Chain A
Amino acid sequence: AQSVTQPDIHITVSEGASLELRCNYSYGATPYLFWYVQSPGQGLQLLLKYFSGDTLVQGIKGFEAEFKRSQSSFNLRKPSVHWSDAAEYFCAVAAGSSNTGKLIFGQGTTLQVKP
């Protein structure tokens, strides 16, 4: 069965510093992978997704993620964090063989940004 692991429950970075949030997935075939952000009291916003092709994916708000099949990872990165990036981040994989099946979410990583 597919699963997603986000090893870091909580991360604190200084404003302007670089950021990397880790995500590991378990799936036999080519996965459909997503990163979502949830600000306090808000719904989920899609940051980026990987379906196929270029393994480096660009998203909104200056985020990018790299799919590494050999490491079963899909880590999210941002070169310079802004205070407004403080939020909960979720990695997810689409179950099944399409990109329209149910999503399985990781546990989430809470990002705190220090001034």
Chain B
Amino acid sequence: SAVISQKPSRDICQRGTSLTIQCQVDSQVTMMFWYRQQPGQSLTLIATANQGSEATYESGFVIDKFPISRPNLTFSTLTVSNMSPEDSSIYLCSVSSPGLSGYTFGSGTRLTVV
């Protein structure tokens, strides 16, 4: 299965600032996904990162708040913009590919906004 390096692993940020999270995969993958896990909650999909095109956002998530880049088949970034305390969550990237048997998740970024 693919190995994902997600950075940073945690951060404490001031409200009103932005944080960019990186997801690097050790092999080319078709689909990359970004999830949010709010405290004590399950995972909610933010968007699907498509290589060479704009990300596809889920209901309730917008590009201005969560801009995503996918410059190639092994890398993606998620930016959390103009942060507020409500953005305090764990953000996880995930990958799938027809050649992989299932989905792999990064170790997550634990974000605290103060």
Residues of A within 8 A of B (CB): 34, 36, 42-44, 46, 49, 90, 94, 98-108
Contact = CB atoms under 8 A, between A and B. Distances in A.
A90 B43 contact: yes
Contacts, number: 48
18 contacts: A34-B102, A36-B105, A42-B107, A43-B92, A43-B105, A44-B92, A49-B102, A90-B42, A99-B96, A99-B102, A100-B31, A102-B48, A103-B43, A103-B45, A105-B44, A106-B42, A107-B41, A108-B42
B101 interface: yes
Contacts of B108: 43
Contacts of A107: 41-42
Which of A46, A103, A106, A108: most chain B CB closer than 10 A? A103
B75 to A, nearest CB: 18
Given A44-B43, A102-B48, A103-B94, 7 more contacts: A34-B103, A49-B101, A90-B43, A100-B31, A102-B33, A105-B42, A108-B41
B39 interface: no
Contacts of A108: 41-42
A104 B45 CA distance: 8
